[in-house]
Structure formats: C-alpha cells, structure tokens
A and B are shown apart, each in its own frame.
Chain A
Amino acid sequence: MLHTLAALVENHPGVLTRIAGLFARRAYNIDSLSVCQTEDPELSRMTIVVNGDDQVIEQVRNQLNKLVIVHSVTDLTAESVVNRELALVRIKVSSETRAEVLQTVTIFRGRVVDIGRTNITVEVTGDIEKIDAFVNAIRPYGLLELVRTGKIAILRSEV
C-alpha cells in the first residue's frame, strides 16, 4: 500500500544523503519525494510517498525518527489530508489537434503557460489520480515532456 509520510527535517547539507541512504540500504523504494522550505527557516519539509505493508512503514517511520536531523514524521495516509501535485506537460499540437487539446486542458482546469509553433506547455494541479488521468487523456496527441513535482500533502484542519 502507498503511504504518504511528512517529515520535518533540518535544513542543511547532508540531510538528503542521510535520508536517501536510509531508504537505499533497507531497500525501501521511494515512489515520490518532494522537499521544500517551511514556515520555520531552520526546517524543511519532506513529503515521501513509499510503498509497503504496515510493518515496513512502521520501520521506515522509526528509522527516520531515529535520525538526529529528523524532527518529526507523520503518516498522512490514514488521516484526513489535502493532497496536491503539480505537473508541467508539453504536448504536441497541430492545427487539427490544437482545439481538442485545449478543450481537454480546460476540462482538467489546466492553464497554458507556454506556446510554441508545434507544441504547447500546460500546468495542471490536483491529486495524483487527476494528474494521471490528464496525462492519459493527452497522451494520444503526443506527450513531449512531463515534469511532476511529486506529491505534497497537508492535514485538514479540524472544524
């Protein structure tokens, strides 16, 4: 099962190596990883999507927690969370296909961010399933380049 872990880690060199090394040595496969700054300048936030059964995930969490540079690890899988990923997609277009492609982009609430003679570049955000669906929808027209940020997630606030 896919799990989404959010780790608050110290923001200095060597941190990524320690974490990547931990995953590599124990052969935990990272499905996606995103790192960004947080509201606290000393801390970065890593959103790690990793595949494994509950026992493996518990080990991953414990091993991460053990690192001095890791301040906290939360498993966001079972929790109520908002997930987002952003994708930039370059799609082949011709005069015949352009309208159809733009229509698809609109359906997915994408935005055109760049236009070339034979291609357009589109920005799409959403959960992983939505991005996957968009990519599949435009693939027949010619998928030239795909960049995805990896998943980021935040807990829903209690009401």
Chain B
Amino acid sequence: MNSGKKGSRGAAILLEALEKEGVDVIFGYPGGVLLPLYDSLLDSPIQHILARHEQGVVHAADGYARVSGKVGVCLATSGPGATNLVTGIANAYMDSIPLVVLTGQVVSSLLGTDSFQEADITGITTPITKHSYIVKDAREIPRVVKEAFYLAGTGRPGPVLIDLPKDILAMENVEPFPSDMNLRGYQVPGRGDSARIDEVVKAITECRRPVIYAGGGVIAAGAADALRQLSEKASIPVVTTLMGIGCLPFGHPNLLGMVGMHGTVTSNYAVDDCDLLIAVGVRFDDRVTSGLGHLFATKAKIVHIDVDSAEIGKVVRAHFPIVGDARLVLEEVLDGLASVEVPQVSDWWDRLHTWKNDHPMKYEKDRLTPQMVIECMGELAGDETIMVTDVGQHQMWTAQYFPIMHTRNLVTSGGLGTMGFGLPAAVGAQVARPNDLVFLVTGDGSFQMCIQELATIVQNKLPIKIVLMNNGVLGMVRQWQKMFYGERFSSIQLHSNPDFIKVAEAYGIRGIRIESLEQVNSAIAEAIEYPGPVLLDFTISPDEDVLPMVAPGKAITEMLGR
C-alpha cells in the first residue's frame, strides 16, 4: 500500500481531522480493514500506543481522558476488535467520560451481508454511546470528526463512535467537504435559570443544616473551585460520591467523606438529617441511595444542579431543579451569596463533629491490612499522585483511605464497576501525565482480567507502581456471601493464582512481595524511588471487610460496622 498521495487518502484526512482536534495520541489495535489507516499513521505526528487487547485500548483512552480532561481516542478493527470495545464504551458512558471511539468496518458494499469480520457495532453500542456515525462518504470525515469531538466533550460528556468502512479509509484523491457542524438537535446548557438561582440563594441563607452532595459532574464541569468556595463561604459540609472524590482535597475540614454504601457514618447521617441538600453533578445512584430515593434526605429541600435535564427528577423530586453548567451555576450562587447573610450553622457543625468523633473510620493496626498499606502510600506519595483502582474491596479501601488532593487524580470505574479497568486505565493515565506518579491499586481477581497490558507498560516504558492486594479471593463477593449468605462461600476462591512476582518478572517488571507489617513502608518507598514499573504484591487476609457498609435495601443510616 503506498501513501504517495498524502492528504488525499480517506485515512490521511481522518488523521488530519484528529490533529485539528488536538489529538496527540491514539490507543489502538490493528486489523484487516484498518490497513489503510495504519499505513497513513506512519506519516502522521500522532503517537499510537499498541495495547494487547481492545479492552485495554478503550480503558486506556478512558484513563487518559479522566486525568487530562481531554477527549480520549481509541481505535479498533471491525468485528471482534469492535466488539471487544463494548465493555469499555459502556464503562465510559456510565461515568460520562469523553471518548471518540474509531472502529474499522467492512467495505461499504458488503455492509449488512454478514461478511468476514462484520459486526453491527453502531447497533450494538446504541444504548451505550452518546451518539454514533457510520461514515458513508469520505468527504464527510472532517465534519463527522469535528462533531464527534464536540459531542463527546460538551454538555454531559460521553463516548461517541465513528464506524469507518475500509473503502472510505482507502479512498484516494478525496476532496473533503467543509467541516461545518450540523447539530441542530443538540444544545449545551450554559447558565442556569437566574430566578431559580435566587431562590437557591435564599434557601441557603435560611437553612440551618445544609449539605452539599457533589459528584463526577462537578469535576467534568471544572466546578470544584466554585464548589469549595461555596462550601467555605457558607460553612456547608460536603459529601461526595465515588466519582466526586477530589472535589475537596482530602482532609479539608468541610469534607465529611464519601456518601452511600461504603460512605462515612457522618456523611450518611448528615444527608439523612439535613434541611437543605445541594446536589451538584450527581444522579442519586443506588450505590448512594440504596435504591430508596423516597427515603433519601427526606427532611431536606433538594437543589439539583445538572447539565443533563434527564437526570433531574429521575430518582428524586427536586424542589429547586437547575439545568446548567455546574461551574456557571455555582458561580452565580456565589455572587448571590456575596450580598446576603450566610446561614447559621454552628449547631449543625456541633452535631457533625459529634458524629465524626463517635464514628471515625477505623481498622485494626496489629497486622498487615490493606487500609494501612493505602494510608502508607498516601504518606509517601506527593499531592500530584494519580491513583488508579480496579474494582472490588481494594477499590473501596482506596476511596476511603487514599488522600486525593486534586480533581482528576482518582481514576476508578464508578458506574459500571468494571473489573480489569485498572491496569489499562493506568496506562492511559501515565501516557497523559508522564511526569506524575501513577499508582494502581488492584485485586488478584481484577488484575487477571487485563493482565496482558503489562506488556504495554513495558513497551512504552511507563513507570507505573502496581499495588496488588492479594487476598486469594474475589473479596467483595466473598464479603457479601459472608454477611448476607450465611458464609456459604461459592466460587470466590482463586486457588490457582500464579506467582505474580514471576509473572511481573516474565514481562520485565520488578516484583516485590510484602508479607509483614514491617516491610510495608520500605517497599512502597522503594517502589516510588525506582525509575521503572514495579509490582508490589501484598499478601493480605481474605477476611478483611470494607466497612462501614449499608446493607442492600436498607436506608443509608443503617450502617454495619458503625
């Protein structure tokens, strides 16, 4: 395949359009229908990172997007390449992560004929994409790419898929149409309704027990600063969702911690008892409300600020619904507060402090526990450290104990809870921020779901520090069987786990096993010092629990392990 006529091949036009959008890296995996594109890539300044599985490709783009705030781009071939992306697309959709997903497709004339490696990927992904395109004319590529990035990154962000038949990529001498967008049906909410915002300001001045409930939408909107100012100005305590961690720096006096199933007792009590709940960029997910929207914050007037009007009223009825950009809305609330009295909340804070003292986060310190490992990592790592997690108990311990000091420093699969997300997401995070320390906390189950990406780490010299909480079990499932199924343990033993140190070494990664309390600090320090990737394999008991915990179906005040 020759690329003599640069700039006129469909594939080259695609790459130019990506460059115009500021794309510097694509995570991808080649295949037959992508041959013209991979050929043109050789002449493009865009860097290509080859993963080892398409699931790795899409999670890496997702991790890249989360830590950089940019749109992540990934690429896979038709058929099995495209279907291997599905989990990752769903993952990004659930957490509102901006992705442009490029898939190769069979040549246009064979579409719909069950031809070799054909899969209806736009059909398959309809419910998990914000929008999708099948490019039928190479001249439309610049417009489609421009629209896709705009859609992915604005409003409520999300994945947009572009399906590219091989003949479109291979077409030569293409004279592209102008890239003017044609999105008449798409509006991005901006400022909120001012009259409603005035009502909110009034409600704030009059309340006595306010709580801010902050989620991933705050981070997506770049509204964390405004949120912190509001909290400080009016002394309003803040609870966050898993996705909202980082809105306020860990240790901030107004931060009560995570809310919901594994939230702090204080957060859950506060939400239950508050008289004004200011919900920003959240969707009242069942991991927060226990699926009991009607029992959530029942004493409160609810303010719900979200960029997606379909989230408002979906789970709870808000007294003050505001559709708009969280940053703009919060800034307007702040302006309004400048000229009025802040609420009297000292009694409320007394109550919150009592709860905090009576129900601190706690764990036993007499043995090597995952909580102490995570706290130790927090002590040794700097404020800019990026923490990536997989899914399971280790994820919740990390969310509870690791000090996240800034937005975009926690990368975790919130809405979909995708085991296997961590390792490839860490790849994307390190690629996006090569100078920051990247930790991955994973479990022995999750790690094995995308373990092949160790090769991607090595090939790209990514100095990721992998912390494996090796409990020999699918710990989170075991915990539920222990607590709610009478200790009838079923299919949670990972008996034939490999020697992970040897696995790491086989890939050329340094491995350190830690089996006792005394080794923890020095091993973590050593890993941070070491210039390359390291696997720290912590042997922990399968019997550790994530606490506190709201039992399924119970109100959020009824926590186990208070």
Segment at the A interface, from B180-188, B395-403, B487-495: B180-188
**Known contacts A68-B151, A68-B183, A71-B184, A59 near B310 by CB under 8 Å:** yes
Determine which of A14, A58, A70 lies in contact with B313 in the assembled complex, contact meaning CB atoms within 8 Å: A58
Is the beta-carbon distance between B126 and A21 smaller than 8 angstroms?
yes
Is the beta-carbon distance between A62 and B310 smaller than 8 angstroms?
yes
Q: Chain A interface secondary structure, helix, strand, loop or mixed?
A: helix
A14 to B120, CA, bound (A): 11
CB distance from A157 to the nearest CB of B (A): 24
A71 to B132, CA, bound (A): 16
Q: Which B residue sits closest to A9, measured CB to CB?
A: B185
- Is A81 part of the contact surface with B, judged by Cβ < 8 Å? no
Q: Mark A66-82, 1 if CB is under 8 A from B, else 0.
A: 11111110000000000
Within 8 A of B (CB), among A15-32: 17-18, 21-22, 25
Q: How many residues of A contact B (CB 8 A)?
A: 22
Is the beta-carbon distance between B309 and A68 smaller than 8 angstroms?
no
A86 to B309, CA, bound (A): 35
Determine which of A10, A18, A70 lies in contact with B126 in the assembled complex, contact meaning CB atoms within 8 Å: A18
Within 8 A of A (CB), among B178-218: 183-186
CB distance from A108 to the nearest CB of B (A): 39
- Is A55 part of the contact surface with B, judged by Cβ < 8 Å? yes
CB distance from B229 to the nearest CB of A (A): 30
- Is B327 part of the contact surface with A, judged by Cβ < 8 Å? no
Is the beta-carbon distance between B313 and A68 smaller than 8 angstroms?
no
- Is A103 part of the contact surface with B, judged by Cβ < 8 Å? no
Q: Which B residue sits closest to A66, measured CB to CB?
A: B310
When distances are taken between beta carbons in the complex, the residues of chain A under 8 Å from B132 are 14
**Known contacts A66-B308, A68-B183, A17 near B123 by CB under 8 Å:** yes
When distances are taken between beta carbons in the complex, the residues of chain A under 8 Å from B186 are 68
Is the beta-carbon distance between A70 and B122 smaller than 8 angstroms?
no
When distances are taken between beta carbons in the complex, the residues of chain B under 8 Å from A67 are 185
- Is B131 part of the contact surface with A, judged by Cβ < 8 Å? yes
Is the beta-carbon distance between A14 and B126 smaller than 8 angstroms?
yes
A109 to B150, CA, bound (A): 53
Q: Mark B18-41, 1 if CB is under 8 A from A, else 0.
A: 000000000000000000000000
Q: Which B residue sits closest to A72, measured CB to CB?
A: B185
A151 to B131, CA, bound (A): 29
- Is B130 part of the contact surface with A, judged by Cβ < 8 Å? yes
A69 to B183, CA, bound (A): 8
When distances are taken between beta carbons in the complex, the residues of chain B under 8 Å from A55 are 313
Interface centre among B183, B310, B312 (most CB of A within 10 A): B310
- Is B314 part of the contact surface with A, judged by Cβ < 8 Å? yes
- Is B127 part of the contact surface with A, judged by Cβ < 8 Å? yes
Is the beta-carbon distance between B126 and A65 smaller than 8 angstroms?
no
- Is A34 part of the contact surface with B, judged by Cβ < 8 Å? no
A73 to B205, CA, bound (A): 37
Q: Mark B108-148, 1 if CB is under 8 A from A, else 0.
A: 00000000000000110011001110100000000000000
A17 to B122, CA, bound (A): 10
A14 to B185, CA, bound (A): 15
- Is A149 part of the contact surface with B, judged by Cβ < 8 Å? no
A25 to B418, CA, bound (A): 21
- Is A63 part of the contact surface with B, judged by Cβ < 8 Å? yes
A55 to B315, CA, bound (A): 10
When distances are taken between beta carbons in the complex, the residues of chain B under 8 Å from A62 are 309-310, 312-313
Q: Which B residue sits closest to A63, measured CB to CB?
A: B310
When distances are taken between beta carbons in the complex, the residues of chain B under 8 Å from A22 are 127
A20 to B309, CA, bound (A): 20
Q: Which A residue sits closest to B184, measured CB to CB?
A: A71
A71 to B314, CA, bound (A): 21
When distances are taken between beta carbons in the complex, the residues of chain A under 8 Å from B127 are 21-22, 25
Is the beta-carbon distance between B130 and A68 smaller than 8 angstroms?
yes
Q: Which B residue sits closest to A62, measured CB to CB?
A: B310
When distances are taken between beta carbons in the complex, the residues of chain B under 8 Å from A25 are 127
Is the beta-carbon distance between B185 and A68 smaller than 8 angstroms?
yes
Q: Which B residue sits closest to A40, measured CB to CB?
A: B184
When distances are taken between beta carbons in the complex, the residues of chain B under 8 Å from A8 are 185
Q: Mark B302-336, 1 if CB is under 8 A from A, else 0.
A: 00000011101110000000000000000000000
Is the beta-carbon distance between B314 and A59 smaller than 8 angstroms?
yes
A69 to B127, CA, bound (A): 14
Is the beta-carbon distance between B309 and A65 smaller than 8 angstroms?
yes
Interface centre among A25, A62, A69, A72 (most CB of B within 10 A): A62
CB distance from A14 to the nearest CB of B (A): 6
When distances are taken between beta carbons in the complex, the residues of chain A under 8 Å from B122 are 14
**Known contacts A14-B126, A18-B126, A66 near B309 by CB under 8 Å:** yes
When distances are taken between beta carbons in the complex, the residues of chain B under 8 Å from A65 are 309-310
CB distance from A74 to the nearest CB of B (A): 14
CB distance from A151 to the nearest CB of B (A): 23
Is the beta-carbon distance between A68 and B131 smaller than 8 angstroms?
yes
CB distance from A10 to the nearest CB of B (A): 7
Q: Mark B61-101, 1 if CB is under 8 A from A, else 0.
A: 00000000000000000000000000000000000000000
Interface centre among B130, B184, B308, B314 (most CB of A within 10 A): B184
Determine which of A21, A58, A69 lies in contact with B185 in the assembled complex, contact meaning CB atoms within 8 Å: A69
Q: Mark A109-144, 1 if CB is under 8 A from B, else 0.
A: 000000000000000000000000000000000000
A22 to B126, CA, bound (A): 9
Q: Mark A21-61, 1 if CB is under 8 A from B, else 0.
A: 11001000000000000000000000000000001001100
CB distance from A131 to the nearest CB of B (A): 32
When distances are taken between beta carbons in the complex, the residues of chain A under 8 Å from B184 are 71
When distances are taken between beta carbons in the complex, the residues of chain B under 8 Å from A17 are 123, 126
Known: A59-B314, A67-B185. 18 other contacts (CB 8 A): A8-B185, A10-B185, A14-B122, A14-B126, A14-B132, A17-B126, A55-B313, A59-B310, A62-B310, A62-B312, A62-B313, A65-B309, A66-B308, A66-B310, A68-B130, A68-B183, A68-B185, A71-B185
Listed from nearest, the 4 A-B pairs whose CB atoms lie closest are A62-B310, A71-B185, A68-B131, A66-B310
7 A-B pairs whose Cβ atoms sit less than 8 Å apart in the complex: A25-B127, A62-B309, A62-B310, A66-B309, A66-B310, A67-B185, A68-B183
